[in-house]
Amino acid sequence: MVKHHGVPFLEKKQKTLLVNESNKNDIRKILGNPSTTSKFDNDIWIYIERKQTQSKIKNLGRMQIFKNDVLVLEIDDYGILKKKEFYNKDDMENISITEATTEAGFKKNSFIYDFMSSMRQKINDPLGKRAKKRKQINQQ
């Protein structure tokens, strides 16, 4: 059994988007509305594709994530795509924190880092069992 969440075939569809050529209407036509949006100097649209499957019998049928793609699009004030970053499951394991020199840049990096960190946490603990266990330990 496979559970699918987000935009199907995100990796394939994002290849048709061209930086400095595609606009908001093109993006919505190809990918639909974004999963998440944010506003900094430019608009940031985030699209997600996540697939889970039931794991092997030895894991008692728990769901396991086998595809977790994220597309981050930066759109300027004129509605033109200025930057496109695609992350897959392996890329999220290698995210590093960068120090920004300005407050606006720090906010932008912080938002993307926080979002990607939460996605990484969901990959590592999809059912939230670690958090529940910590809560039980703290209550005792």
Percentage of the chain surpassing pLDDT 90?
15
Range of the domain at 124: 2-139
Determine the 3-state secondary structure of 54 from DSSP. Answer: strand
Give Cα separations from 19 to 35, 81, 85 (angstroms).
Answer: 20, 5, 11
Strand ranges (DSSP E) for 1-140? 2-6, 36-39, 43-54, 63-75, 81-87
- Confidence (pTM): 0.60
Tell me the per-residue pLDDT of 57-106, one tens digit each, with 9 for 90 and over: 655 666 777 688 888 999 988 999 999 988 887 766 666 656 655 555 44
Higher pLDDT, 106 or 21: 21
Higher pLDDT, 53 or 71: 71
For the chain, the domain total comes to 1
Count CB atoms within 10 A of the CB of residue 119.
21
